[in-house]
């Protein structure tokens, strides 16, 4: 399966890093972009938890600047800085997948025609690519790390992966 470019919001490297699965990103996508705004959010996260990933230390990450003018060109929204930067970058670089977990951000990205994935989508894709044997342990791990997941979505993920609860 050919690799697509991915621009990541905070949650994907945060949670994949916390469960020791950050290397799934370069195994599935290339190149991988992280906007400066997201990098700053992760920097702030390290003030609270030292194990928060530092994207500057990942040789396969390309840090990108997203101008305020590009962000301001988005439809009106109340999203966070990182989410808006991801959407603006993906909109300016068609073919780039917007990686984000926030529902409102995903809805806006999809409404303007962007392809979107999230942490769970990446885990599912990793299983489909044969990189991991099962999604359930990783889904349970991200949930244990604070990733919010409804019981319905948890069941749906396992069903998509052909696994049982």
pTM of this structure? 0.94
Residue 1 has pLDDT above 70, yes or no: no
Residue 165 has pLDDT above 90, yes or no: no
Do residues 122 and 28 lie in contact, with contact meaning Cβ atoms separated by under 8 Å?
Answer: yes
Q: How many CA atoms lie within 13 A of 23 on its CB side?
A: 3
pLDDT at 49: 93
In CATH terms, the fold of domain 4-133 is Rossmann fold (3.40.50)
Q: Give the confidence band of 2 by pLDDT, cuts at 50, 70, 90.
A: confident
CA distance 5 to 96: 5
CA distance 140 to 138: 5
Residue 100 has pLDDT above 70, yes or no: yes
| Residue 141 neighbours by CB distance under 10 Å | 17
Mean pLDDT, the chain, whole residue set: 95
* Angle at the Cα of 80 from the Cα atoms of 25 and 11, rounded to 5 degrees: 25
Q: Give the confidence band of 123 by pLDDT, cuts at 50, 70, 90.
A: very high
* Residues 132-145: tens digit of each pLDDT: 999 999 999 999 99
pLDDT at 58: 96
Each domain of the chain, given as residue ranges in start order, spans 4-133
Average pLDDT over residues 126-154: 95
Listed in sequence order, the DSSP H helices in the chain are: 11-18, 24-28, 36-48, 68-72, 81-92, 103-111, 119-128, 136-144, 151-160
């Amino acid at each position: 399966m050919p690799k697509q470019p991915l621009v990541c919001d905070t949650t994907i490297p945060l949670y994949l890093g916390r469960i020791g699965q950050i290397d799934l990103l370069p195994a599935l996508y290339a190149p991988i972009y992280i906007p400066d705004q997201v990098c700053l959010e992760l920097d702030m996260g390290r003030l609270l938890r030292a194990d928060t990933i530092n994207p500057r230390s990942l040789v396969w990450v390309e840090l990108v600047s997203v101008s305020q003018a590009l962000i301001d060109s988005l439809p009106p929204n109340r999203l966070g800085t990182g989410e808006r930067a991801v959407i603006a970058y993906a909109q300016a670089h068609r073919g780039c997948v917007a990686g984000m977990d926030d529902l409102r951000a995903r809805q806006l990205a999809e409404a303007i025609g962007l392809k979107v994935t999230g942490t769970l989508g990446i885990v599912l894709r990793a299983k489909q690519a044969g990189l991991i044997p099962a999604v359930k342990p990783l889904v349970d791990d991200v949930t244990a790390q604070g990733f919010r997941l409804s019981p319905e979505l948890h069941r749906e993920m396992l069903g998509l992966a052909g696994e049982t609860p």
